Amino acid sequence: MNHPKVIAIMGPTASGKTAAALAIAREVDAEIISVDSALVYRDMDIGTAKPSALELATVPHHLIDIIDPALSYSVAQFLLDTERLVRDITARGKLPILAGGTMMYFKALMNGLDDLPGADPAIRARLDAEALEIGVAGLHQRLQTLDPVTAARLKPNDSQRVQRALEIIAISGEPMSALIARQPKKARPFELLSISLEPSERSVLHQRISRRFDTMLELGFLDEVRQLRQRGDLHPDLPSMRCVGYRQAWEHLDGMHSHAEMRELGIIASRQLAKRQLTWLRSIPERIIIDCLGQDPSAEIVDIVGQELRKTAH
């Protein structure tokens, strides 16, 4: 059975993924599936660098503006939605393009989703109470004892994932790392051509990130966060408000940082995100690397995709 061809445009923040995906769609009849955990949220446009209304109207986009910021969107739901969308887009005779920088989504697409125990509300409530008592760092120390492999890959302040790892131990009696290691990987229902936009000079990407953050501020990013705060049902611990930039803006509006400090912290967080994205990308040996700082990276990608599609046609 022939699996459908899907193009994946990956890369760190500010590497030009949206421009590349749109360039392909101008040359080939395609639809774009966003691989971005921030673009799923409505009313979060400036701080997520969401494609413009014109860009969204030019090419069909999916998984953008699909949920309210008060809700959460899981990797499992992303996987289900994406597999359905690939089937639908292919059935329409179009090319699916996956474009974004949320690496845990790409990881799920490439390796399958680990079949771990579901949530237990009672255990989660207990862990929430313990987090208030001993702090997330205290929970992370406990995880280091119970599951050092998982603890090593989680940041000590990542409350959601640290508590999830402890919840799995409480439910199953086994470390999460051991459960994952035993699980067979499921085959992908499509063939993936992975193209990665990466910088030949990290310092130049850092300059881009700084300019992009300043542009967001000029476009009214703080007003966007003010409007979200005025709703009254959002708080900084929600996945939506933990997105890079939003947490720093929220803390600034709470009086925790000056405007200059907020800007600096937002840029630092964006650079740290880019570093994590690049670290993950280096673990994919089969990716095609394009210098995002080159003369015309989008044209290079269009050429590669064209060659691949001609090869497939024959």
The pairing of beta strand 191-198 with beta strand 288-291: parallel
Burial of 314 (0-12, 13-18, 19+ CB in 10 A): exposed
Give the mean model confidence (pLDDT) for residues 46-55: 95
| pTM reported for the whole predicted model | 0.82
Place of tokens 């910088």: 199
Q: How confident is the model at residue 314 (pLDDT cuts 50, 70, 90)?
A: low
Average pLDDT, the chain: 93
Which of the residue ranges 47-51, 234-238, 309-313 would you say has the lowest mean pLDDT?
309-313
Q: How far apart are CA 194 and CA 191, in angstroms?
A: 10
Q: What HEC string does 152-191 produce? A: HHCCCCCHHHHHHHHHHHHHHCCCHHHHHHHCCCCCCCCE
What is the tens place of the pLDDT at every residue in 188-239? 778 999 999 999 999 999 999 999 999 999 999 999 999 999 999 999 989 9
- Read off the tokens for 240: 């939506």
Q: How confident is the model at residue 187 (pLDDT cuts 50, 70, 90)?
A: low
What is the structure's pLDDT at 185?
A: 63
**The residue count for the chain:** 314
With contact defined as beta carbons under 8 Å apart, do 204 and 14 qualify? no
Q: How confident is the model at residue 2 (pLDDT cuts 50, 70, 90)?
A: low
